[in-house]
Chains A and B, each alone.
Chain A
Amino acid sequence: NAGVMQNPRHLVRRRGQEARLRCSPMKGHSHVYWYRQLPEEGLKFMVYLQKENIIDESGMPKERFSAEFPKEGPSILRIQQVVRGDSAAYFCASSQEPYSNQPQHFGDGTRLSIL
């Protein structure tokens, strides 16, 4: 499967724990985008990364959230000290070109539930 791979598909955490979400972009894609989908809402942009660089994190909450895309390995979205409001589906997308008018290809998402 050469698509965008996200894991885990489902993640349950208790309040105060850490959540780590992983995303492997499509083969040949070096641009990764994270979106969050709250219940009954559309996707909202969080962060855009290239290898080893955060390009745009204007949609990311200032506290507890961080993202990285190392030289080797998947992109990681990390949420520290999770709260109930973090419950959402988190989607990763990748594209071949930056500032992309090329279609962004999406993974199947990680559904995060906070107990």
Chain B
Amino acid sequence: AQSVTQPDIHITVSEGASLELRCNYSYGATPYLFWYVQSPGQGLQLLLKYFSGDTLVQGIKGFEAEFKRSQSSFNLRKPSVHWSDAAEYFCAVYQTGANNLFFGTGTRLTVIP
């Protein structure tokens, strides 16, 4: 069965520092992978997605993620965090033939001045 693990429940970084949010998945075939961001009281906004091809994916708001098959990982990165990036981040996996996304439990990002 597929699963998505986000090992970090809460991360705090200083504004301007770099960021990496971890995501590991368990799935037999090559999955389709997504990162979503959720601001308080809001819905989910798609940051980026990986379907195939180049394993380094660029997204909106300066985010990128790298698919590493050998590590079953799809970590999200940003070189310089802004205060407005404070939010909850969800990694999600789509399994071919399924009807839905499988979500990790999320990582809450706090940005300090």
What B residues does A59 contact at CB under 8 A?
100
B side interface size, CB within 8 A: 25
- Complex formed: what's the CA distance from A44 to B49 in Å? 19
Asked if A45 and B101 sit within 8 Å, CB to CB, the answer is: yes
Asked if B34 and A45 sit within 8 Å, CB to CB, the answer is: no
What B residues does A103 contact at CB under 8 A?
34, 46, 49
Asked if A91 and B44 sit within 8 Å, CB to CB, the answer is: yes
Q: A4-B43, A103-B49 are in contact. Are A42 and B104 (CB under 8 A)?
A: yes
B67 within 8 Å of A by Cβ? no
B residues 76-108 in Cβ contact with A at 8 Å = 90, 94, 96-106
What A residues does B27 contact at CB under 8 A?
none
Category for how many chain A residues contact B: 20 to 34
Contacts from A to B (Cβ < 8 Å)? 4, 6, 33, 35, 40-45, 48, 55-56, 59, 91, 93, 99-101, 103-109, 111
Q: List 9 A-B pairs, minimum CB-CB distance, nearest first.
A: A45-B100, A42-B103, A108-B43, A48-B99, A56-B99, A106-B44, A106-B43, A43-B103, A42-B105
